Homo-oligomer: A and B are copies of this chain.
């Protein structure tokens, strides 16, 4: 099957089909200006000879570079979460520099929807060939998606929670399942008692995300017929004082609480509180891995972190666009990220 050394090129195809190189090139790239007859003839020869284009030669001779747009929140926001996908994007870009891939980043403040719209307009009018973005602004982003569709600019979603039909690829996080996982881990730590699902509001979190995780927790507990119950608490204004007051009260009124679940990356705030608090051990599970969490992992105040390889999401996104735009490969429509579990004893290797 693998015809070994005999690498056959466009020249061989041209000779066999009795046409010029340029014609074969036109057929390969589906460019206009070839008669149906010729096209079919060439395609048949390509098929028969098993011709595979040589990307290196292709890229070497092609003049223009490929520009990928990136639309994400400022890295200074959301505890700096977006720094990681961006790092992954940059890493991939460096690896692919040979292929003349450029990244154009468009960032915005999350609570500033005027700015979001401005950046979207900039993107529409820019010379990008592909786009990486996050799925969290359902409304504003429709125009952009529509525009990309018309211009045939492939889009890749990262940090996505639903499968986008028009996207080239959605890099997804299984939210419900991450809730199940958290519940399973709590269930290893205690047999009965209560899990406090504590929502420290961040502009980026939609109710969807929290809700799915919460459902996952309850789903697991039901499935296991566990004696553990859950209770949800939302804190909007989460400075240290508020947390102190609200949590002290909640824990006092509900002595059955043995675990706290933070469905976003704000877990360090709560760890800070729990550390100072006297009393029985309370198990703590959160999301995402930040420097400020290390101290609490070490002390086992944070017991588990559930992570979704944010860096790899950015990295993969660039590669998927690269495969589509440059290698002209088929790309899977959705990539589901693993649910990584981090503890004191394995975070160092993450």
Contacts and interface: CB of A to CB of B under 8 A. Distances in A.
Identical subunits present: 2
A95 to B, nearest CB: 9
Given A56-B98, A98-B55, A177 B336 contact: no
Contacts of A56: 56-57, 59-60, 98-99
Contact of A339 (B189, B303, B339, B349): B349
Contacts of A349: 174, 177, 336-339
Interface in A295-350: 303, 336-341, 343-346, 348-350
Task: Determine the main DSSP class of A at the interface with B.
Answer: helix
Interface string A21-46: 00000000000000000000000000
Max chain B Cβ within 10 angstroms of own Cβ: one of A60, A341, A345: A345
A341 B346 contact: yes
Interface string A178-196: 0011011100110000000
A188 B346 contact: no
Most buried by B among A55, A99, A188, A220: A188
Q: Give chain A's interface residue range (CB within 8 Å of chain B).
A: 20 to 34
A54 interface: yes
Contacts of A350: 338
Interface centre among A54, A303, A340, A346 (most CB of B within 10 A): A346
A136 to B, nearest CB: 21
B55 A343 contact: no
A34 to B, nearest CB: 26
A338 B349 CA distance: 5
A340 B343 contact: no
A4 to B, nearest CB: 9
Contacts of A180: 345
A349 B174 CA distance: 9
A338 B350 CA distance: 5
A84 to B, nearest CB: 15
A346 B177 contact: yes
A64 to B, nearest CB: 11
Contacts of A343: 181, 184-185, 341
Contacts of A184: 343-345
B345 A220 contact: yes
A345 B188 contact: no
A303 B336 CA distance: 23
A98 B345 contact: no
Contact of A340 (B55, B183, B188, B340): B340
12 contacts: A54-B98, A56-B57, A174-B349, A181-B345, A184-B343, A185-B343, A189-B189, A220-B345, A338-B350, A339-B345, A340-B341, A341-B341
Given A184-B343, A188-B189, A339-B345, 5 more contacts: A54-B60, A181-B345, A184-B344, A339-B349, A341-B341
Nearest 9 interchain pairs by C-beta: A339-B346, A181-B345, A341-B341, A56-B56, A338-B349, A180-B345, A184-B345, A56-B60, A188-B189
